[in-house]
A and B are shown apart, each in its own frame.
Chain A
């Protein structure tokens, strides 16, 4: 038993009863691998299926048409979630998501004829650069031979065509991301000496999704582009965040792929490394200065700009130094509880808190499912020496959503009872109500979060939360989120707009609300 476990158990026996796991990430990982802790998600913990996650990546490729082979509902759902969000937030024009709109007859007799006809129609009426044919559960089960149809028809159409087998049942939530990132490497041209020379100072930022960056917000992607340009490099393409087919074709010729998201960036980065030998700069999310510097140097090495990178790091730090160091003096030695719903983000934040801010980080309710689903990333993190403290309470494994569930809220409050509220902050959704200062990094005004400016922004957010810790959280807000006698379900189930504000970025835009994925 660790020291922290001893303290908790002695001070608050009730929370000890609620704890499922309290220890290091490596220990949790070991238990998950050995099957000693349940890693399956509850029936209430539905995430977007493989079809949805595949569509999310495909939505970030310009002048493409997503043709979904199946009933129309799957197309409508992703269109409303991703395409409408692109229009609302990023001023993208109206973009369709097309369906073969299968009915009962085609389910019985097969839908290949409809698919063939639909491809021809789509090619004529939209004139896209590429048609992605995405399979759905229905066509996966009835066994339509989509590969045969697409290969037969390829010569009859102007657009390029790529089948994507992403039936919703065919894998976990993130398998759709991995699949598409792997599949789109088929659209890429092998580098030549000439193409590599032309792109020798270029990098790709890989692991992005959906449409263009918002013009009015200092997004994380824009910050990374600024840093690359700051060292004299250039960004060839953000894959797949509003990239073109032409950019994809030439993408392997860049000097290096830089992962935006450790998990998703690794998926495409390693696929391109295997297929074309394109180097991969894969680090944890660049939250904080230590991670940012690793990211910049990792990129600079391949474009021959190490000296420029070091100069940039100095100038970037100099620009924030005075304020940053002043703020940091208030943070050192404090404790942070980090909500663990978004596994990779929470671990990256923990890394920043420990390495940069010298704080103690406890990742709270990191679902053991993540230990399995995010294996690649966790392996990487552990290799880099990051092994944060993890706390999992029973509410996380109960039927019901854990994000702002009354049970997990109560368990958190019990746990916090053993900590000094003046010395502890909570990193999570503003829709949680711990009785300690709260930092919500998903709030849209708290951008950018990456890079030096991001490090300062986050540090200031913590200081602000501590400074105003004397103000009790709004009773009105709390009553909105937790009405009397609530309990089983969570804010994730609120209207689409609110669901979008949840931190794990796996929600859907509702019909009537301005929705947005916060991981832009």
Chain B
């Protein structure tokens, strides 16, 4: 029930708003404890790996990355010796349990045999060597995260013993544009715990290889993203009999989505009473706070025509919160990823809400700017990119909620759940105040 946008002159040129497969792979690997990375690539690719670590805010003492720094002669003659030497040196220096040997575009194209190298060196090193081909041409950030998860799947051991009955794996919390996404992970763990459900394994965030290897014992998998991970969840079910639950629900963003999510979870784990308690206390928290501190959001936001420019995880969840709860009109939805599952989920949600905004998936910077310019909008929910585009277009209100954000975030703030809603509303309110305050003092008005 949405109006899919079409763009001219965009078939061959792309102004990316997400990284490449290497960043996606790094974003997965960086979530595992006690590992190191030997990067077989020219040195610039190390910055892309650093972005993966940045997204986890990994303490610098835990970033153990070495790069073969390939140059022209290496490309022409091959660089197996260089790779071999660096693996040995890195193993002796880093002393990690597992070492990912990551090949990027260059190593991938010239056909460096990193699997063979890992096999032949394995007896000589302490770390378990895991080769990963991560050429950026293999896809975008989300494709890379899928690639990373498929590599982790090889660590998952077949179930050896009884299945756990109240235990879940959480999938890809880092595939989210919340700048402090780990707060969402913490929220999810908290509500699971309240329902007597253990978080068995997170794929991955400060997760150990041992935890991953035992993931097949979990009762179910739960997505914390709608942008990727679908192949992984299918394979986990097929190979290890772990089903994915709540997959057809928007993530717990806003009152209704959160209560739906909690109810479905409670129902699955026979903890509906706990779910209802969480819902009641959460909704009370939100309304009490807003009554005291946010009453004016009602006249402010009502019937404001807005755009959301984000990933599928946030966009699908926000639509209902903005439309039903804040009484805004989401007129434009711009989604950075383009999975079929997310498209289906958004379609279903828009049908339920009875609205038909204009929508585009897999957007780039040009499409974002063109779409925003073409619409008459009161406000944009987006990142720093959208903030600067809005400035140029003259759209006064741009809420800087998502990555890359221009806000400094010292405190972790969930976007999921009831406090998450308050956190987002706080950012929106502050951005509103800052945007609409006069920027200059008209001194002449004060002259006697």
Question: What is the interface of chain A, defined by CB distance below 8 A to chain B?
Answer: 41-44, 46-52, 67, 70-77, 79-81, 84, 87-88, 93-94, 96-104, 106-107, 114, 117-118, 120-122, 124-126, 136-138, 140-142, 167-173, 399-400, 483, 485-496, 499, 508-514
Contact = CB atoms under 8 A, between A and B. Distances in A.
B65 A168 contact: no
Contact of B105 (A71, A87, A101): A71
A47 B8 CA distance: 38
B136 A142 contact: no
B438 interface: no
Contacts of A494: 60
Contact of A483 (B17, B61, B65, B179): B61
Interface stretch (B85-93, B189-197, B236-244, B343-351): B85-93
Contact of B44 (A51, A93, A102): A51
B304 interface: no
A75 B50 contact: no
B71 A487 contact: no
14 contacts: A42-B66, A43-B69, A46-B43, A67-B13, A72-B136, A88-B406, A103-B138, A117-B13, A125-B10, A138-B109, A138-B136, A141-B110, A495-B54, A510-B404
A96 B109 contact: no
A136 B406 CA distance: 29
A103 B139 contact: yes
Most buried by B among A52, A98, A492, A512: A512
B54 A512 contact: yes
A100 B13 CA distance: 5
Contacts of B264: none
B93 to A, nearest CB: 5
B313 interface: no
B388 A94 contact: yes
A125 B9 contact: yes
Interface of B: 8-23, 38, 41-48, 50-51, 53-55, 57, 59-61, 63-72, 74-75, 86, 89-90, 93-94, 104-106, 109-110, 135-140, 179, 365-366, 369, 384-385, 388-389, 391-392, 403-406, 408-409
A80 B46 CA distance: 15
Contacts of B384: 84, 87-88
Contact of B106 (A80, A168, A490, A511): A168
B51 A75 contact: no
B67 A43 contact: yes
Contacts of B63: 489, 493
Given A97-B15, A141-B109, A399-B66, A52 B50 contact: no
Given A43-B66, A483-B61, A76 B19 contact: yes
Nearest to A113: B12
Chain A CB within 10 Å, residue with most, of B47, B104, B139, B403: B47
A80 B404 contact: yes
A124 to B, nearest CB: 5
A94 B385 contact: yes
Contact of B388 (A87, A499, A510): A87
B43 A496 contact: no
B313 to A, nearest CB: 15
Nearest to A169: B42
A496 B406 contact: no
B74 A125 contact: no
Contact of A46 (B11, B69, B105, B391): B69
A104 to B, nearest CB: 6
A44 B321 CA distance: 46
A76 B16 CA distance: 6
Given A77-B47, A94-B389, A493-B50, A118 B72 contact: no
Given A101-B14, A102-B137, A125-B9, A138 B105 contact: yes
Given A70-B136, A508-B50, A107 B9 contact: no
Contacts of A94: 365, 369, 385, 388-389, 392
Given A44-B66, A67-B13, A96-B366, A77 B51 contact: yes
A118 B389 contact: no
Contact of B365 (A77, A96, A114): A96
A121 B137 contact: no
B20 A493 contact: no
A67 B366 CA distance: 13
A170 B119 CA distance: 30
A477 to B, nearest CB: 15
Contacts of A514: 406, 408
Contact of B64 (A103, A121, A488): A488
Contacts of B385: 84, 94
* Most chain B C-beta atoms within 10 Å of own C-beta, residue among A50, A483, A513: A513
Contacts of B369: 94
A94 B372 CA distance: 13
Contacts of A79: 15-16, 365
A71 B60 contact: no
Nearest to B86: A43
A10 B186 CA distance: 56
B86 A169 contact: no
B19 A73 contact: yes
A455 to B, nearest CB: 33
Given A41-B69, A138-B136, A173 B43 contact: yes
B43 to A, nearest CB: 4
A400 B51 CA distance: 18
Nearest to A138: B105
B14 A98 contact: yes
Contacts of B106: 137-138, 141, 168-169
A93 B373 CA distance: 14
Contacts of A121: 9-13
Contacts of A493: 50, 53, 60, 63, 65
Given A73-B48, A137-B105, A169 B68 contact: no
Contacts of A72: 14, 16, 18-20, 136, 140
A76 B17 contact: yes
B385 to A, nearest CB: 6
Contacts of B66: 42-44, 399
- Report which residue of B44, B60, B89, B365 has the largest number of chain A beta carbons within 10 angstroms of its beta carbon: B44
Contacts of A125: 8-10, 13, 366
B60 A52 contact: no
Contacts of A43: 38, 66-69, 86, 89-90
B42 A168 contact: yes
A253 B434 CA distance: 46
Contact of A96 (B15, B22, B68): B15
B145 to A, nearest CB: 13
B336 to A, nearest CB: 11
Nearest to A97: B15
A400 B53 CA distance: 16
Nearest to B409: A512
A37 B54 CA distance: 34
